[in-house]
Structure 1
Amino acid sequence: MRSIEQIIECTETLINDKTGKSLSFIQKAVLSASLLETKKNYAQIAIENNYSENYIRQLVAPKLWQLLSNSLGEKVNRTNCRAVLEQRLDNSFLQTISQPTHMWQKINLEPPDGQVPLSSTLYIERGLEQVCYQAILQPRAFIHIKAPRKMGKTSLMTRILAYGSSHGYHTVRLSLHRAETEVFSSLEKFLRWFCANVTHQLGIKSKLEEYWDEDMGDLMNCTIYFQGYVLQEINTPLILALDEVNKLFEYPQLTRDFLGLLRSWYEETRDISIWQKLRVLIVKSTDIYINLEINKSPFNIGLAIDLPVFTRLQLEDLAQRHRLQLTAFQFEQLMALTGGFPYLVRLAFYHSVQHQIPVDDILQDTTNDTGIFSEHLHNQLYSILQSPDLVDAFQQVIRSTVPISLEQEVAFKLKSLGLIYLENKTATVSCGLYRKYFSDYFINETAILNNS
């Protein structure tokens, strides 16, 4: 009798050959539990894997059985999956895939820069997706996602919006870093830009001139525009997603006014039913370092998601999706080098597969000017060189053997770049790659100054 591991391995190969897709961690957990002689129910699977039963039952399982049915050309469900799979995966096929495979298999990989496409097989769930999916369907939903750059915030945001769309919700996505500098020059310009973009994405006519009254004030004008027009024009809830909200922090008074406005809309949902159509999703890469009154901050309401780095198990899952077979020691080295940062890990795996570079070579050749991380490291260096305060602070962190305290705004900016971890208000370098590269850089700079 074939083991469950063999069946899952064969099944994954078949699915990838047929569709180019791979099974996610939670899909494999559902399949594994369904292949047992005494099958586990969805409630048990959810508890064991820290997911909600509804998420497993209504989203994961149906998609899994549909994927298997499409790949095999016959109906597959929880009841018959073992019999169908064992029948299809005959001995010759099993022997073929159980043989050691070449390190670099031909697979389609999208580059690691930017968001992970919805159709990608390389998106790794971190156990927070289903929490966000359930939250966004609730009236008064207000979700704020925080993580350093290149951690997967936008990829998660995109999936929440897609989940809302699948339930018939309207979605609007605004990335503040795409707004021209002039937009932030006054509250009126920013709010008119904001309202114009919302109506454009909803496909409804802009009526700014009709609703904007200079005697009412810009905050009230924006509120009336949403309550009296935008929300009246739609029949289903609207998910308003604001990406790169930290862009606002460069304009303190604008930040206070706009974030206070969003908080006031949340409060309106208690008494004015039409505001319950609005669901807000805020994405930012740093903590706010501008003082906000407690009752005007949107960051102490709703659901807060602090996106974590990859765990060792998630690294193993991602390596498997790249068809890379690594040793336990290689995984340990990779975790130490990258700190589990999704972009750094994907960059390493991408180059290993696409350019046929052994992982050991990548682990050894990390900080020179021709290595795979060079462009990213140069960008990180450029970012901190824009501010002497950032350079001084990060130099202190690099040189210290223990966590140290930093001035709050500087600490938050270094954290937003992913260069440090903050715990109990003290900072440490976030990964071995940054420690080595910036240690060498600061040593070289000191030597140049001493010789000049």
Structure 2
Amino acid sequence: MRDSEYDIAVLKIDYQPNHYLPLGIVSDEHITDEIVAVGYPAGHKPENTQIKTFVGNISGFRTDNKIENDAVKGQGQSGGLIYHYKTHRIIGLATAGYKPEVMLNTGLATRFEPLLKKWREFKQINQVVAQAWIKRLREKTPPPDKPLPLEPCGGAMPLDSKFYVERQIDADFQTAIKRRDGIVLLKGPRQVGKTSLLARGLQQARCAGVRVLLTDFQKLVEPQLQSSDTFFLAIAQMLARQLRLKISPQQSWSSDYTASGNFENYFLDEILANIEEPVLWAIDEADYLFHYPFSREIFSMLRTWYNDRALNPDGPCSRLTLAIAYATESYLFIKEQNQSPFNVGTKLVLEDFSPKQVADLNQRYGMPLKNNKEIKQFHQLVGGQPYLVHCGLNEIVSHKLRLDEFIRKADHEEGTYGDHLRRIVTLLNRDEPLFQAMQQVLRGEPCPDSDSFYRLRSAGILRGNSKNNVSLRCEIYRRYLKKHLL
């Protein structure tokens, strides 16, 4: 085929807000302004693999919405962007060149005025077209020849897991790390995938040259939690081991300072001051500390470091990002909100799997759910809760169960979710206010108070926006808890 038969110009209007040039409009007052044509001229030639730029000027405007210019020299530049120096905007796409017998070294670029006038209409059309193509591709995509090898359920998923479902929050977390945000909060109820998300974000950071530190507060043992002194020393020792520092915390600890003061000095002077790269300190299960009296000291310190980024932009904290994963509403335990790190920075909330994400996982498991109706039934049973979804599909595949068999036995004591459901009842039996609040919700009444609502939602039992707008997270919880609490 001739070039003119398959040459095409494409404008991509999706963008990342950190690195894009906006579209613009030019008029007669911009004639003679300097422009640059950017692209891959004659890109069909194997030797033309490098992006090229052509500098020129606007010479005039045609009545057919074309910009006449000498930056587009001729054939082979179609699709190239036209950058306008004065406004710092992209003002058109190279679409044609004059034939030599008409005019030498002059080409045409199509202006964006009609596009911008119909922008809202195009966005709607784009959504319809995208959804149609997604549907067609899903229908045409054959299921895998055989299911992937099963993995154990529960806990953080390995980095190479074939069953990890990427959500929008994965990209948002990585973007926040690349931006070097001061604090990134990862909030979500129990067993929704916070640790797995955190692990993948940290791996991306390592690959980008960021020094990564990780502390899981849930791994602290009772002797380390006896007092402020034992806690801060234990945290400092953990970080020192990860970085293999020569100076131990004990060597720098001084009786002139409080435990938190000693830790802050060690972190700033021995850790941050000796690392040139950006530093990411990830804290998992942060709310594990909420019940301890010294939690105010550590969280107040983190908030101070965040504030210091603005007050001292050249200081050591300017290179520090804190990624904090937690489930419980912090304000229930931290009364001084101006000393809390949980109401500043970038907050990312993990949600349950959507039916589409369950359908994706179902395909990876070898299609044990046979059709959309079964996927919908299964999603309603487990509410998209990631742990319940993975364990349920695992059970159906490993025991070759029909969905109706699985649903019938799902809330039995010896069923797939028996241990998980018993732990919920044990939690409620140990806390009389939560037990009574749960009984009210099961009767179809509102949650009696906000404290109980937020604690039950953080535990992953309830969903909703307030104590008056609340429901069980999934059908299996409703069935099991009604049998054992009412």
Common topology (TM > 0.5)? yes
Deviation at 1:409, TM superposition (A): 3.3
Deviation at 1:337, TM superposition (A): 1.0
**Contact 1:122 1:318 survives alignment (8 Å):** yes
Residues 255, 361 of structure 1: alpha-carbon distance in 2 compared, 3 angstrom cutoff? same
Deviates more, 1:260-269 or 1:229-238: 229-238
Residue number among 299, 311, 330 corresponding to 2:354 in the alignment: 311
Deviation at 1:279, TM superposition (A): 1.1
Write the distance in 1 (CA, Å) between the matches of 2:474 and 2:219: 30
Deviation at 1:219, TM superposition (A): 2.4
The match for 2:236 is 195
Aligned residues: 357
Deviates more, 1:389-398 or 1:352-361: 352-361
In the alignment, structure 1 residue 388 sits paired with structure 2 residue 428: no
Deviations 1:207-231 (A, max 9, x none): 3233222222222222211111111
In the alignment, structure 1 residue 340 sits paired with structure 2 residue 340: no
Whichever residue aligns with residue 322 of structure 1, its letter is: Y
Deviation at 1:344, TM superposition (A): 0.7
The match for 1:147 is 188
Write the distance in 2 (CA, Å) between the matches of 1:40 and 1:217: 66
Deviation at 1:321, TM superposition (A): 1.3
Residues 224, 176 of structure 1: alpha-carbon distance in 2 compared, 3 angstrom cutoff? same
Deviation at 1:100, TM superposition (A): 8.7
Write the distance in 2 (CA, Å) between the matches of 1:360 and 1:366: 10
Whichever residue aligns with residue 161 of structure 1, its letter is: L
Identity of aligned residues (%): 26
Whichever residue aligns with residue 250 of structure 2, its letter is: E
Whichever residue aligns with residue 447 of structure 2, its letter is: S
The match for 2:295 is 255
Deviation at 1:111, TM superposition (A): 1.5
Write the distance in 2 (CA, Å) between the matches of 1:228 and 1:140: 22
Residues 227, 341 of structure 1: alpha-carbon distance in 2 compared, 3 angstrom cutoff? same
**Contact 1:140 1:269 survives alignment (8 Å):** no
In the alignment, structure 1 residue 232 sits paired with structure 2 residue 273: yes
Residue number among 288, 291, 297 corresponding to 2:334 in the alignment: 291
**Contact 2:240 2:249 survives alignment (8 Å):** no
TM-score between both structures, scaled by the size of structure 2: 0.68
Residues 259, 396 of structure 1: alpha-carbon distance in 2 compared, 3 angstrom cutoff? same
Structure ranking higher on relative contact order (CA contacts 8 Å, 6+ apart): 1
Write the distance in 2 (CA, Å) between the matches of 1:323 and 1:442: 37
Residues 247, 233 of structure 1: alpha-carbon distance in 2 compared, 3 angstrom cutoff? same
**Contact 1:339 1:431 survives alignment (8 Å):** yes
In the alignment, structure 1 residue 126 sits paired with structure 2 residue 167: yes
**Contact 2:410 2:417 survives alignment (8 Å):** yes
Whichever residue aligns with residue 419 of structure 2, its letter is: E
The match for 1:355 is 399
SS of residue matched to 1:149:
coil
Please, which runs of 5 or more residues in structure 1 have no aligned partner? 1-36, 56-96, 444-452
Write the distance in 1 (CA, Å) between the matches of 2:417 and 2:8: 45
Equivalent positions of 1:241-252 (< 5 A) are 241-251=282-292
Deviates more, 1:115-124 or 1:210-219: 210-219
Residue number among 176, 179, 199 corresponding to 1:158 in the alignment: 199
Whichever residue aligns with residue 421 of structure 1, its letter is: R
Residue number among 440, 443, 450 corresponding to 2:483 in the alignment: 440
Write the distance in 2 (CA, Å) between the matches of 1:421 and 1:392: 17
The match for 1:412 is 454
Residues 140, 127 of structure 1: alpha-carbon distance in 2 compared, 3 angstrom cutoff? closer
SS of residue matched to 1:112:
coil
The match for 2:129 is none
Deviation at 1:99, TM superposition (A): 8.7
Residues 395, 43 of structure 1: alpha-carbon distance in 2 compared, 3 angstrom cutoff? farther
Write the distance in 1 (CA, Å) between the matches of 2:141 and 2:323: 45
In the alignment, structure 1 residue 109 sits paired with structure 2 residue 126: no
In the alignment, structure 1 residue 268 sits paired with structure 2 residue 268: no
Q: Which has the higher strand share?
A: 2
Structure 1 stretches (4+) deviating beyond 4 angstroms? 37-44, 51-55, 97-102
TM-score between both structures, scaled by the size of structure 1: 0.73
The match for 1:85 is none
The match for 1:422 is 464
Please, which runs of 5 or more residues in structure 2 have no aligned partner? 1-5, 21-139
Which structure has the larger Rg over C-alpha atoms? 2
